[in-house]
Structure 1
Amino acid sequence: MAEFELIKEGAFDRDDALKRRNERVASFARPYREFAKNYQATGPLLAAVNVALSLGRPLLLTGEPGSGKTLAAWWIADRLQLTDHVHEFNVKSDSRARDICYEFDAVSWYRKSQLAKDLNGAEVPKDEFLRPGPLGKAFGWRGAPPKLPSVVLIDEIDKAPRDFPNDLLLELDQMRFTIQEIDKPIICPADVRPIIVITSNAERRLPDPFLRRCVIHRIELDISVSKRILTARLKEFDVPNAELIEAAATFWVDLGLKPLARKPTIDEFWRWLALATRHGGKPAAAIVAALKIPSEATRELPFIDTLFSSPADLKAATGGA
Structure 2
Amino acid sequence: MPNTPYILSLGQEHALNAALKLNQPLLLTGEPGTGKTMMAAWALEYLNAKYDNSFYPEVLRFMTKTTSKASDLLYSYDALSHFQAANLRGEKEVETAHFIELQALGKAIALSNPRADYKQLFRWEMPEQPMNAVVLIDEVDKAPRDFTNDLLDELVYYRFSVKEQDGAEITKAKDAKIVVIMTSNSDKNLPDAFLRRSAFYHIKFPEGEHLKQIVAANLGQNVTEHTQEAYDRLFEFFHQVRGKAVRKKPATAELIAWLRLLGDDGYLTQPDAAIRRQLVEQNLSFLVKTREDLEAIDELIKAANL
Aligned to 2:19: 52
How much does 1:80 deviate? 2.3
> Partners in 2 of 1:132 and 1:91 — Cα distance?
16
Measured after TM superposition, the shift of residue 183 of structure 1 is 2.9
Letter in 2 for 1:50: N
For 1:84, what is the secondary structure of its paired residue?
Answer: coil
Which residue does the alignment assign to 1:225? 210
Percent of matched pairs sharing the same residue: 33
Residue 68 (structure 2) aligns with: 95
The question of whether the paired residues in 2 share the 8 Å contact of 1:299 and 1:318 is answered with no
Could you tell me which of 226, 229, 234 is aligned with 2:219? Answer: 234
Query: Gaps spanning 5+ residues in structure 2: where?
Result: 49-54, 119-125
Distance 1:300 1:58, change over 3 A: closer
Deviation for aligned residue 1:239: 5.0
C-alpha separation between the residues in 1 aligned to 2:280 and 2:177?
A: 53
User: What is aligned with 1:184?
Assistant: 168
Q: 1:207 to 1:90 in 2, by over 3 A?
A: same
In structure 2, what is the equivalent of residue 195 of structure 1? 179
| Alpha-carbon distance in structure 2 between the residues aligned to 1:248 and 1:198 | 33
The corresponding residue for 2:32 is 65
Secondary structure, aligned partner of 2:147? coil
1:268 Cα deviation from its structure 2 partner:
0.7
Matches within 5 A, 1:33-48: 37-48=4-15
| 5+ long unaligned stretches in structure 1 | 1-33, 291-296
From the superposition, tell whether residues 267 and 119 of structure 1 become closer, same or farther in structure 2 (CA, over 3 Å): closer
* Alignment coverage as a number of residue pairs: 276
- Flag the 1:223–1:187 CA change in 2: closer, same or farther, 3 A: same
Q: Matched residues in 2 for 1:200 and 1:119: separation?
A: 45
Cα distance per residue 1:200-220 (max 9 Å; x no partner): 112851112222221111111
Which residue in 1 is equivalent to 2:295? 312
**Which of 150, 165, 180 lines up with 2:148 in the alignment?**
165
Name the counterpart of 1:152. 135
TM-aligned CA deviation for residue 40 of structure 1: 0.2
2:122 equivalent in structure 1: none
Take 1:119 and 1:261, find their aligned partners in 2: how far apart are those partners? 54
SS in 1 for 2:216: helix
Distance 1:104 1:133 in 2: 10
Q: With the length of structure 2 as denominator, give the TM-score of the two structures.
A: 0.76
TM-score by length of 1: 0.73
Q: Which moved more, 1:93-102 or 1:79-88?
A: 79-88
Matches within 5 A, 1:13-28: none
Q: 2:44 & 2:185 partners in 1: Cα distance?
A: 21
Counterparts in 2 of 1:300 and 1:60: CA distance versus 1, 3 Å: closer
CA shift for structure 1 position 127: 5.5
2:195 to 211, 217, 225: 211
Does the Cα contact within 8 Å between 2:230 and 2:268 map onto a contact in 1?
no
SS of 1:94's partner is coil
Q: Which amino acid aligns with 1:167?
A: D
Q: CA RMSD in A?
A: 3.4
> Conserved in 2, the CA contact under 8 Å of 1:305 and 1:314?
no
> 2: distance between equivalents of 1:319 and 1:63?
31
- Greater Cα shift, 179-188 or 270-279: 179-188
Query: Counterpart in 2 of 1:133?
Result: 103
- Distance in 1 (alpha carbons) for counterparts of 2:85 and 2:230: 64
Cα drift, residue 180 of structure 1:
3.9
